[in-house]
Amino acid sequence: MSRPIPIALTIAGSDSSGGAGIQADLKTFSALGVYGASVITALTAQNTRGVSAIHDVPDDFIAAQMDAVFCDLAVKAVKIGMLSRPGAIRTVAEGLKRHKARPVVLDPVMVAASGARLLSDDSLNDLRTILIPAADLITPNLPEAGALLGIEAARTEEEMQRQGAALLALGARAVLMKGGHGEGPQSIDLLVTPDGTQRFAAPRHATRNTHGTGCTLSSAVTAGLASGLGLADAVARAKSYITGAIAAADRLDVGTGHGPVHHFFQLWDVASN
């Protein structure tokens, strides 16, 4: 008898160019053997050069999407991405509580790779006080971690560790400090938990095609959790996956700006042989 495929849910915004947001999340889930469901919180008019418009989904329709998914699908893990308004943040938090959704991975999306702001100023406090305490893991990059704490972005591993501990104090159960914005030959991520800190290193690849990197990494962790991996193992597999997706990004040649990472580099390599 076949085993049921694990199901993961992404709650995020749509990227019309397909490289980030809901589209990146669903591609990542599929690439890692997980069935993906989605709740769309916003529509963006977006391409590899930037975001030209955002259309927010009404709060009651966000709630309706969550209810429709959870009342029928056996969701094993949830990833949360772009939530641009306080109402959306509160609606999602209420839905998670209503359906007792766990584990929850929160990617605190604030700025697109193009530099476009995706989070309003009045939403930042609600993100800190409402959603972070509801998350089993938050996955900020260095600028996002600094913004959440109201301080400068970390520049060293020691600063990354301290900021991760400070984010734990806001109520998160674990923090993955993503070092992609750092410098040096390696990209260093730190998984900070109440039990200690684990370091994940990978070669840094020089490419402008990094659109959707943060969405993809957090979704890859979510896919691992949905598949039954422990947190550290899910992070390790996700780190390996995103490193490969970035390394293969230049093969896609999509758009004229910051192109997407290659979500299906493993599958397409196999198919071409």
Q: Enumerate the active-site residues.
A: 178, 210, 212-215
Task: State how far the alpha carbon of 11 is from the alpha carbons of 43, 177, 222, 248, in Å.
Answer: 12, 21, 12, 27
- Whether residue 86 is preceded by a cis peptide bond, meaning omega within 30 degrees of 0, is no
Taking each continuous run of H as one helix and of E as one strand, the counts in the chain are 9, 9
Determine phi and psi for 39, rounding to 5 degrees.
-125, 115
Would you say 86 and 19 are in contact if contact means Cβ atoms under 8 Å apart?
no
Note whether 148 and 166 are within 8 A (CB): no
Measured between alpha carbons, how far is 88 from 112 in angstroms, rounded to an integer? Answer: 19
Strand order in the sheet with 35-47: 50-56, 35-47, 7-15, 75-80, 104-106, 137-138, 175-177, 186-193, 196-203
Strands 196-203 and 186-193 come out as antiparallel
